[in-house]
């Protein structure tokens, strides 16, 4: 169902490299700034005439190093992600069919498990989000019985695919697929493909689950990178 990005999306593409390199910590670190108490005579000889830093200077350096160690940065995330993400949420809300779906026990996703991934290192967070968006795209591209607005659904899928592409340009490492995440989406797939169930109810429940997931993505610190 998904096609190439719309002209509006293409116009917003940033042609610059979305990765920003950070200077290695070793280029900033001078061991003597942290005191001489644990140095050997050989270490002291190598230090030469470096001045001993004050406590305030050492504290300042520690704060700088902590900032650099978190180090993940992506221009597209900083400049564009919230714009696209907000559009996705708006479209998904607008595709409400008016079918009443109770929450609580019917919820498929384990929110605590999902939120736990916000504690991963930044690139792993982004990779988890990429897999989530890919699973959403796959689920909806397979949709046959969904009664949502076809135009809005197509726009939604175009944006999801665009987000996935741009987020991929923000990471340099690859990680294994999260099997539990795939299982969650398989549960949604089983729900929507069950011919013996009320399909309008199943798709409305699925829409609410996807809204829950997309809202949870806002909790990932890596997606707020500056």
Which pLDDT tens digit goes with each residue over 123-168?
999 999 999 999 999 999 887 778 888 899 999 999 999 999 999 9
**Do residues 20 and 73 make contact, with C-beta atoms less than 8 angstroms apart?**
yes
Residue 20 domain-assigned (yes or no): no
CATH number, domain at 182? Answer: 1.20.1250.10
Are residues 55 and 105 located together in one domain of the fold?
no
Are residues 59 and 171 located together in one domain of the fold?
no
- Report the pLDDT value the prediction gives residue 46, as an integer from 0 to 100: 41
Residue 1 domain-assigned (yes or no): no
The predicted-structure confidence for 98-107, as pLDDT tens digits, reads as follows: 887 765 445 5
Are residues 81 and 64 located together in one domain of the fold?
no
Are residues 131 and 100 located together in one domain of the fold?
yes
Greater model confidence, 32 or 116: 116
**Do residues 165 and 15 make contact, with C-beta atoms less than 8 angstroms apart?**
no
Model confidence at 59, pLDDT cuts 50, 70, 90, reads: low
Are residues 139 and 56 located together in one domain of the fold?
no
Greater model confidence, 74 or 48: 74
Are residues 127 and 141 located together in one domain of the fold?
yes
Ranked by mean pLDDT, the top range of 15-29, 55-69, 166-180 is 166-180
Exposed / middle / buried, residue 143 (Cβ in 10 Å: 0-12, 13-18, 19+): middle
Q: Is the pTM of this model over 0.75?
A: no
Number of folded domains that form the chain: 2
Are residues 86 and 59 located together in one domain of the fold?
no
Separation in Å, CA 110 to CA 183, 185, 209? 12, 12, 11
SS3 content of the chain, % helix, strand, coil (to 5): 65, 0, 35
- Report the pLDDT value the prediction gives residue 212, as an integer from 0 to 100: 92
- Report the pLDDT value the prediction gives residue 57, as an integer from 0 to 100: 61
Are residues 65 and 143 located together in one domain of the fold?
no
Mean pLDDT of 165-183: 90
**Do residues 147 and 95 make contact, with C-beta atoms less than 8 angstroms apart?**
no
Which residue, among 164, 200, 205, 169, has the nearest Cα to 188 in the 3D structure? 205
Tokens 């997606």: give the residue: 223
Are residues 156 and 59 located together in one domain of the fold?
no
Exposed / middle / buried, residue 32 (Cβ in 10 Å: 0-12, 13-18, 19+): middle
Residue 2 domain-assigned (yes or no): no
Are residues 65 and 78 located together in one domain of the fold?
no
Greater model confidence, 147 or 19: 147
3-state secondary structure of 74: strand
DSSP secondary structure code for residue 19 in this structure: B
Residue 211 domain-assigned (yes or no): yes
Q: Has residue 199 got a pLDDT over 90? A: no
Question: Which domain covers residue 84, as residue numbers?
Answer: 7-14+74-224
Residue 109 domain-assigned (yes or no): yes
CA 212 to chain CA centroid, nearest Å:
14
**Helices and strands, counts by H and E, the chain:** 10, 0
Name the average pLDDT for the chain: 74
- Report the pLDDT value the prediction gives residue 139, as an integer from 0 to 100: 94
């Amino acid at each position: 169902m998904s096609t190439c990005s719309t002209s509006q999306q293409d116009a917003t593409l940033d042609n610059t490299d979305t990765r920003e390199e950070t200077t290695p910590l070793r280029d900033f670190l001078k061991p003597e700034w942290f005191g001489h108490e644990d140095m050997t005579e050989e270490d002291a000889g190598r230090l030469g005439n470096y001045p001993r830093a004050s406590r305030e200077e050492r504290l300042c350096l520690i704060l700088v190093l902590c900032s650099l160690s978190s180090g993940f940065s992506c221009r597209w995330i900083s400049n564009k992600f919230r714009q696209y993400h907000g559009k996705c949420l708006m479209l998904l809300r607008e595709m409400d069919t008016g079918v009443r779906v109770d929450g609580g026990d019917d919820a498929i996703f384990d929110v605590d498990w999902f939120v736990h991934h916000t504690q991963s290192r930044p690139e792993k967070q982004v990779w988890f989000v990429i897999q989530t968006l890919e699973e959403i795209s796959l689920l909806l591209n397979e949709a046959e019985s969904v009664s949502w607005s076809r135009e809005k659904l197509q726009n939604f899928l175009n944006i999801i695919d665009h987000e996935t592409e741009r987020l991929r340009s923000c990471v340099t490492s690859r990680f294994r697929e999260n099997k539990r995440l795939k299982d969650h989406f398989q549960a949604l797939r089983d729900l929507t493909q069950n011919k013996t169930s009320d399909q309008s109810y199943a798709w409305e429940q699925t829409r609410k689950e996807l809204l829950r997931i997309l809202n949870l993505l806002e909790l990932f610190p890596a997606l707020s990178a500056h």
